[in-house]
Amino acid sequence: MGMKVRGLDVGTMNLAGAVQDDKGNIKIKLLRHCFLDVDVNPFTKKMLLQQKVQYVEMGKKVYVLGESAFELANIMNKVIRRPMKDGVMSPDEADAAPIFGLLVEAVIGKAEVPNTPCYYSVPACPVDADFNIVYHSGIIAGALKNLGYLGKEMNEGHAIVFSEMADQDFTGIGCSFGGGMVNVCVSYKTIPAVMFSTSRAGDWIDKNVAQVLGINQTRAAALKEKGVNIKNPKNREQEAIVIYYRNLISYTIANIKAKFESAESVPQFPDPVDIVCSGGTSLIGGFTEVFEEELKKVEFPIPINKVRLAEEPLNATAKGCLLAALNDVEIDQEAQQEPDEPKAASKKSSK
């Protein structure tokens, strides 16, 4: 099938790679975007090998990768290390770039054909933090180049629209609730009209829950993922999670509203549109119900049809990046074929 383009979701909490197989099905590989360094000794290495734990040796350290790192950190009561912080590559994490390259290889492999396109997700400029994505995007593009890919960035919220809104003519609001950021894209017939991010997301919830409960952040994240329903908290820990979830959702809605009201060129939507939510932070029970409750509390500037979850919330960004890549390759191929036709016609007419 020739060149197989890729889609890559570069999230703070998870990495996801997408590829289309020979039958046209989209295959996604997901990996926790984290690592943990442990001291090298024969016993540790033997244990890691026995448990089939994914790890890599660099210098005098062994780095455990992905889900295994998260589980090990919980057992050892250590805090996992992450290549990304607040939605972008962490400039404070010295080992981030080489580890990131290994994690990316684990989800998309090496390119079979040199310069195979790989569309990767990047956040929009945040409304409540001061940074740009140049360094972040450069690290990702560099890691992809080392694996033989030609990287092309794609806005994360826009990827959600591509993935989830084909039936709505790619018109609506895509929201990606990640670990480091929430990314929002308002799209009209595939064209992004408003794109922004906020720096309040899953990590912000974990940090605040950890603070009020007196536990570390990794433990707070594990607590959140244990099956909480934010419509029906069962204890003090879950109450804390609910408080910060509601705050996060209402904060996101307020920012979408403010962006609509301040943007100069927002399209007029003739019909009510959907809001599609994706990302690991949206996986908690009761998320869309609480979103709809909070939405009713404000005068939203456009009519909303319904709030729904992406079909596969953890995979939607990677899928959207892949669909955009496939679409662009198709357009390029058509463009390359077209110029030949007029030439052929002109030859005939000159005879």
Whether residues 52 and 201 share a domain: the answer is: no
Out of 13-27, 80-94, 225-239, 249-263, pick the least confident: 80-94
Q: Give me the pLDDT at residue 83, please.
A: 82
The whole-number average pLDDT for the span 116-122 is: 96
Whether residues 140 and 258 share a domain: the answer is: yes
The whole-number average pLDDT for the span 36-63 is: 79
284 part of a folded domain: yes
Whether residues 126 and 49 share a domain: the answer is: no
Question: What b/e readout covers 288-302, taking b as 16+ CB neighbours within 10 angstroms?
Answer: bebbeebbeeeeeeb
Whether residues 158 and 245 share a domain: the answer is: yes
173 part of a folded domain: yes
CATH number at residue 311: 3.30.420.40
Q: Give me the pLDDT at residue 347, please.
A: 37
Q: How many domains does the chain have?
A: 2
Residue 51 φ then ψ, to 5° = -80, 0
Q: Give me the pLDDT at residue 131, please.
A: 73
The residue among 164 and 81 whose pLDDT is bigger is: 164
261 part of a folded domain: yes
Q: Which two tokens stand for residue 143?
A: 């890691």
Out of 112-126, 253-267, 308-322, pick the least confident: 253-267
208: containing domain: 6-33+82-335
Whether residues 178 and 193 share a domain: the answer is: yes
The whole-number average pLDDT for the span 213-229 is: 89
101 part of a folded domain: yes
22 part of a folded domain: yes
Residue 94 φ then ψ, to 5° = -60, -35
- Give me the DSSP letters along 258-325: HHHHH-S-PPP-SS-EEEEEESGGGGSBTHHHHHHHHHHTS--SS-EEEEEE-SSTTTHHHHHHHHHH
343 part of a folded domain: no
- How far apart are alpha carbons 255 and 345 in whole angstroms? 55
Asked whether residue 264 carries a pLDDT value surpassing 80, the answer given is: no
The whole-number average pLDDT for the span 30-57 is: 81
Whether residues 161 and 300 share a domain: the answer is: yes
- How far apart are alpha carbons 147 and 101 in whole angstroms? 8
Whether residues 168 and 294 share a domain: the answer is: yes
Out of 142-146, 149-153, 224-228, 285-289, pick the least confident: 224-228
Q: Are 84 and 90 in contact (CB under 8 A)?
A: yes
Whether residues 130 and 276 share a domain: the answer is: yes
- How far apart are alpha carbons 279 and 302 in whole angstroms? 24
Q: Give me the pLDDT at residue 262, please.
A: 86
Whether residues 51 and 138 share a domain: the answer is: no
Whether residues 77 and 104 share a domain: the answer is: no
Cα–Cα distances in Å, from 46 out to 41, 52, 201, 325, 350? Answer: 9, 10, 38, 42, 77
Model confidence band, residue 159 (pLDDT cutoffs 50, 70, 90): very high
Among the candidates 57, 81, 105, a domain finishes at: 81
Q: Are 28 and 163 in contact (CB under 8 A)?
A: no
Highest mean pLDDT among 52-61, 122-131, 256-265, 287-296: 287-296
The whole-number average pLDDT for the span 122-138 is: 86
Q: Give me the pLDDT at residue 348, please.
A: 36
Strands 88-89 and 172-177: unpaired
User: Angle 287-296/236-262 helices, nearest 10 degrees?
Assistant: 50
26 part of a folded domain: yes
Among the candidates 60, 81, 102, a domain finishes at: 81
Q: Give me the pLDDT at residue 316, please.
A: 97
141 part of a folded domain: yes
Q: Give me the pLDDT at residue 30, please.
A: 93
Whether residues 92 and 125 share a domain: the answer is: yes
Which amino acid does the sequence have at 7? G
Whether residues 184 and 58 share a domain: the answer is: no
Q: What percent of the chain has pLDDT over 90?
A: 58
